[in-house]
């Protein structure tokens, strides 16, 4: 019997494809956001609001990741330049999108006509934090009914986020969610994360969120 | 292939890496694979073992033992650089009480070594 030294990152296969995705997106000047949250936090609602607000300013495409169904793709269809639905139920993994799924979705997209790609990940706060997709920035949504303790319960996903959104602000009078506690937890884990308070129901905060996107898209294009 | 967790793809990678390395070493059998997994990584050893047993079937890695070295979470205070282990869910520095904390260990996921014959 002999021992062989290996020391190889098991996630490398995914990371290699993710890098390739980002190179392809950069070549076509597409800025991509990976939007992650627990189920029901408002990923689709945020995408819909973003599409409405950015209409006429950017051409936006959407990749919808769900375990099953096309309901989300149908909702965004009329507003987006292109929509691809990925059903992870037919994939080797169902709990998160992975770089290889994005790679094949990009083949079906008119990349030259797209400025912004919104990738809606599968509703889950654990698995998606392990798999990069080739996105430029990572966005995590927490909504008030989930409670203010999510960053301390799921620190990885919040540690890597570029933007953290507190959604359903309209429910603040009805739920025990301490904004300061939440904010401190996020800032402790990740001082770089930009925090947005908004409500997809009332439009509060959507404009500020979309201005951030516009600035990101602009700086990404200039960078290249 | 319905509703499989992300350990499925990870295990596929483990089998592929193990077979490639065994092949390079001209081994005829993989006896043990030593893996390093951080406590904070979202991967469950039992789940990896479960997939491994079916995926390695009819390969030279069939029956190999997966040995998991679990790396405990280690935190670092961004203010005073104290290294510590979390005592509860609220991460704060035991020395200066700062809550500006980064994860210094606990996200690992790699194959360290293998035993072959």
Query: B59: domain CATH number?
Result: 3.30.2320.50
Residue B86's alpha-carbon distances to A152, A188, B47, in angstroms, are 11, 14, 26
Whole-model pTM?
0.91
Question: Tell me, what's the pLDDT at B83?
Answer: 96
| DSSP assignment letter at A88 | G
Backbone phi and psi for residue B39, each to the nearest 5 degrees, phi listed first:
-60, -30
Q: Choose the mutation target among B2, B5, B8, B9 for the interface with A, i.e. most A CBs under 10 Å.
A: B9
Cβ(A17)–Cβ(A100) under 8 Å?
yes
Cβ(A143)–Cβ(A41) under 8 Å?
yes
User: What does the domain layout of chain A look like in residue ranges?
Assistant: 12-141+206-223
Question: Tell me, what's the pLDDT at B93?
Answer: 93
What interface predicted TM-score (ipTM) does this complex get?
Answer: 0.83
Residues of A in contact with B5 (CB under 8 A): 93-95, 127
A142-160 pLDDT tens trace? 999 999 999 999 999 999 9
Alpha carbon A47 to chain centroid, angstroms: 10
Query: Which parts of chain B register pLDDT below 50?
Result: 1-2
For residue B36, give its domain range. Answer: 7-22+29-73+106-116
Question: Tell me, what's the pLDDT at A104?
Answer: 93
DSSP string, B11-71: HHHHHHHHHHHHHHTT-S-EEEEEEEEETTSS--HHHHHHHHHHHTTTSTTTTPEEEEEEE
Q: Count up the domains in chain B and report the number.
A: 1
Query: Which parts of chain A register pLDDT below 50?
Result: none
In a domain, B1, yes or no: no
Question: Tell me, what's the pLDDT at A224?
Answer: 61
- The superfamily (CATH) of domain A12-141+206-223 is P-loop containing nucleotide triphosphate hydrolases (3.40.50.300)
| DSSP assignment letter at A55 | T
Find the DSSP H helices in A99-196: 99-107, 150-153, 155-159, 179-189
Question: Tell me, what's the pLDDT at B2?
Answer: 44
In a domain, B61, yes or no: yes
Using CB atoms, pick whichever of B9, B22, B90 lies closest to residue A93.
Answer: B9
């Amino acid at each position: 019997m002999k021992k062989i030294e290996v020391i190889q990152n098991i996630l490398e296969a995914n990371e290699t494809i993710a890098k390739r995705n980002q190179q392809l997106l950069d070549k076509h000047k597409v800025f991509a956001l990976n939007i992650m949250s627990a189920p029901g936090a408002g990923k689709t609602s945020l995408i819909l609001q973003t599409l409405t607000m950015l209409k006429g300013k950017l051409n936006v495409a959407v990749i919808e990741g769900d375990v099953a169904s096309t309901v989300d793709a149908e909702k965004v269809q009329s507003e987006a330049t292109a929509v691809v639905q990925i059903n992870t139920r037919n994939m080797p993994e169902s709990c998160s999108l992975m770089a290889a799924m994005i790679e094949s979705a990009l083949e079906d997209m008119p990349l030259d006509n797209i400025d912004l790609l919104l990738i809606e990940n599968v509703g889950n706060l654990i698995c998606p934090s392990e798999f990069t997709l080739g996105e430029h920035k990572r966005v995590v949504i927490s909504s008030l009914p989930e409670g203010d303790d999510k960053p301390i319960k799921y620190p990885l996903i919040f540690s890597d986020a570029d933007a953290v959104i507190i959604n359903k602000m309209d429910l603040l009078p009805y739920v025990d969610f301490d904004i300061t506690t939440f904010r401190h937890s996020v800032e402790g884990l990740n001082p770089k994360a930009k925090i947005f308070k908004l409500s997809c129901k009332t439009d509060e905060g959507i404009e500020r969120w979309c201005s951030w996107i516009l600035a990101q898209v602009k700086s990404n294009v200039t960078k290249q | 292939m319905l509703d499989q967790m992300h350990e499925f793809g990870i295990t596929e990678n483990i089998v592929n890496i193990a077979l490639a390395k065994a092949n390079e070493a001209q081994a005829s059998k993989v006896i043990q694979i030593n893996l390093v997994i951080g406590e904070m990584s979202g991967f469950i050893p039992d789940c990896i073992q479960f997939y491994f047993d079916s995926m390695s079937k009819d390969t030279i890695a069939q029956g190999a033992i997966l040995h998991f070295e679990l790396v405990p979470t280690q935190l670092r205070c961004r203010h005073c650089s104290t290294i510590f282990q979390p005592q509860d869910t609220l991460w704060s520095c035991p020395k200066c009480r700062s809550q500006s904390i980064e994860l210094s260990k606990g996200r690992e996921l790699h194959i360290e070594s293998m035993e072959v014959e």
